[in-house]
Amino acid sequence: MDSKHRHELEQNELAKWIIAQYEDWIRPNSGWLGYAVLGILIAAVIVMVTARVNSYNRKAAWKHYYAALHSPQAETELELVASSTSGAVSAQARLALAQQQLTKACSQIFIDKNEAIGI
């Protein structure tokens, strides 16, 4: 028996096993399997929609952060961003606020030391 013929026999055995599984288990439980597949599809759609909404919200939060960073009232705008968002955007807004306060205090220390300490 050559290897080509042996390979055909193995494929036939696999096909027979799949058909046996179909007749023994899949066909009697096809209703439940259909519900399971439908449930998995619904869960996948919910996960994809949720991920899309979260991505949109993160983009909007970062746009708000960059707009606040370059606005004339940057300090108040950054405080608003820090309090209204969460995660990386809020942390970055707090870091930018601290950096602005440090810069302000460093420049003020040469003018009025007592006022710089109070900042």
Residue 74 CB burial class (10 angstroms; 0-12, 13-18, ≥19): middle
pLDDT given at position 13? 82
77-91: b (≥16 Cβ within 10 Å) or e: bbeebbeebeeebbe
Q: Which tens digits make up the pLDDT trace of 107-119? A: 888 887 777 676 6
Confidence class of residue 4 from pLDDT cuts 50, 70 and 90?
low
Say if CB 100 and CB 108 are below 8 A apart: no
* Planar angle of CA 58, 64, 70, nearest 5 degrees: 140
Q: Which tens digits make up the pLDDT trace of 36-84? A: 999 999 999 999 999 999 999 999 999 999 999 888 888 889 888 888 8
Query: 């096993």: which residue's tokens?
Result: 17
- Number of structural domains the chain divides into: 1
pLDDT given at position 99? 92
Helix (H) or strand (E) holding 101: helix 88-108
- The boundaries of the domain holding residue 89 are 3-118
Say if CB 72 and CB 46 are below 8 A apart: no
Q: Which tens digits make up the pLDDT trace of 71-109? A: 888 888 988 888 888 889 999 999 999 998 888 888 888
pLDDT given at position 95? 94
pTM of the model: 0.58
**Chain-centroid distance, C-alpha 91:** 17
